[in-house]
Amino acid sequence: MSALEVAGGHDAVLLDLDGVVYTGRAAVPGAAEALGRWHAAGLPYCFVTNNAAYPAARVAERLRGFGVELADADVMTSGQAAAAELAAQLDPGTPVLVVGSPALRELVAAAGLAVRTPPAGDEAPPHVAAVVHGFDRDIGWHGLTAAIRAIRGGARSWATNPDPSVPTEDGELPGNGTFVDIVARFSGVEPTVIGKPAATMLIRAAQRLGARSPLMVGDRLSTDMAAARAAGFACALVLTGIDDVHAALTAPPEARPDTVVADLAQLAQALPEARVDGDGAVCGDGRAQLSGGRLRLAGPPRPAVQAALALTAGMDPAGLDLAEVPRRFDA
């Protein structure tokens, strides 16, 4: 099987991590094996993560622990993308206030910019041309106020990612977006966001791979699918994570997936184009039918859901009854 056949005609795959390759500390069943088949077929892939707290090498090492074959360069973090964007828009040596982890500071310095850090006390922040804000578990009041004061003084505001929370063993806790929102509220300036749902990180990852027609695979509509749509890339929702079939069918156009799969292995199973005819649609042996607003599916689940995606495109989700539609399906 050729690389293009594995990815349904796409020349590379971009993948989210949590909910796609692993969930917490456990591997998603079959994910590493599917990636191994892609690797053997010569299909390039890159993992794109909003987490800017750790170097790409550390993320890659964790993935290897789940049995995934990859090089460190097969990981793109929002910190890497942010440093590259700053370097592209600022002159070398420009002072930048980094409110984030040591990994983010190292990336900004390696990009040729002059890193400044928040003062430990109440003194005025250093004069900088830009502020970049990434997740750091040690962030505190002084770091936030330094960012606010610098932005009020005219510095441009950047954020690696807007995620409001991070998953932990104790449930969701405040993430980078929570602190970014505080800075935006008190500075009066919305930041330029680099990570998902913005397009920037995905575009840079595709450029790194030399891909012109990549497929983005993720488990969240609001970040993974939205970023793909913003970048103009095709996207697939995988059901091993957060969002489900109901969410996909009622998603707005800017976050709607092109296809839904039970797991990564299903991406190698090509589907014919869905055809809509009045209140019904067919995709291979799968069928979707609307009657009085109620949606019913018949046939194998994946092509049936594909037919439903075509049938409900552009519909007002408020008028869609999904009571008989399964939220998830197996491969």
Helix count and strand count (H, E) for the chain:
11, 19
Q: Name residue 61's beta-bridge partners.
A: none
Residue 293's alpha-carbon distances to 276, 281, 296, 314, in angstroms, are 16, 14, 10, 14
Is 4's pLDDT higher than 80?
no
Question: Residue 6's pLDDT is what?
Answer: 56
Is 309's pLDDT higher than 60?
yes
Question: What mean pLDDT is predicted for residues 63-81?
Answer: 96
At a CB cut-off of 8 Å and minimum separation 6, what does 23 contact? 240, 241
Which residues carry out catalysis?
A: 16, 18
Strands 114-116 and 130-133: unpaired
Domain residue spans of the chain? 3-50+199-270, 79-193, 271-331
DSSP helix/strand/coil, 229: helix
Q: Which CATH number is correct for 79-193, 3.30.43.10, 3.40.50.300, 3.40.50.1000, 1.20.1050.10?
A: 3.40.50.1000
Six-digit token string for 197: 């749902």
Question: Residue 216's pLDDT is what?
Answer: 98
Q: What is the pLDDT of residues 92-150, one digit of tens each?
A: 999 999 999 999 999 999 999 999 999 987 787 789 999 999 999 898 999 999 999 99
Question: What mean pLDDT is predicted for residues 187-202?
Answer: 97
The residue behind tokens 């850090």 is 117
The answer to whether 96 and 131 have CB atoms below 8 angstroms apart is: yes
Amino acid at 136: D
Q: Which of 188, 112, 114 is nearest to 149 (CA)?
A: 188
Q: What is the pLDDT of residues 283-307, one digit of tens each?
A: 999 999 999 999 999 999 999 999 9
Amino acid at 213: S
Question: Residue 228's pLDDT is what?
Answer: 98
How do the residues of the chain divide into helix, strand and coil, expressed in percent and rounded to 5? Answer: 35, 25, 40
Per-residue pLDDT band for 29 (boundaries 50, 70, 90) equals very high
Is 80's pLDDT higher than 90?
yes
Question: What mean pLDDT is predicted for residues 179-194?
Answer: 97
Per-residue pLDDT band for 27 (boundaries 50, 70, 90) equals very high
Phi, psi of 115 (to 5 degrees): -75, 130
Question: Residue 123's pLDDT is what?
Answer: 80
Six-digit token string for 2: 């050729």
Is 2's pLDDT higher than 60?
no
Six-digit token string for 36: 């191994």
Give me the chain's average pLDDT, please: 94
For 138-203, list the strands marked E by DSSP. 156-159, 165-168, 171-174, 192-193
Is 261's pLDDT higher than 90?
yes
Is 5's pLDDT higher than 70?
no
Query: Comparing 3-50+199-270 with 79-193, is the CATH topology the same?
Result: yes
Q: Which of 264, 268, 202 is nearest to 238 (CA)?
A: 264
Assigned CATH for 3-50+199-270: 3.40.50.1000
**Alpha-carbon distance 207 to 209, whole Å?**
5
Is 168's pLDDT higher than 90?
no
The answer to whether 67 and 27 have CB atoms below 8 angstroms apart is: yes
pTM of the complete model: 0.92
**Alpha-carbon distance 6 to 267, whole Å?**
7
Question: Residue 319's pLDDT is what?
Answer: 87
Element (H, E) at 236: strand 234-238
Q: At what angle do helices 102-110 and 78-89 cross, to 10 degrees?
A: 40
DSSP helix/strand/coil, 150: helix
Amino acid at 211: A
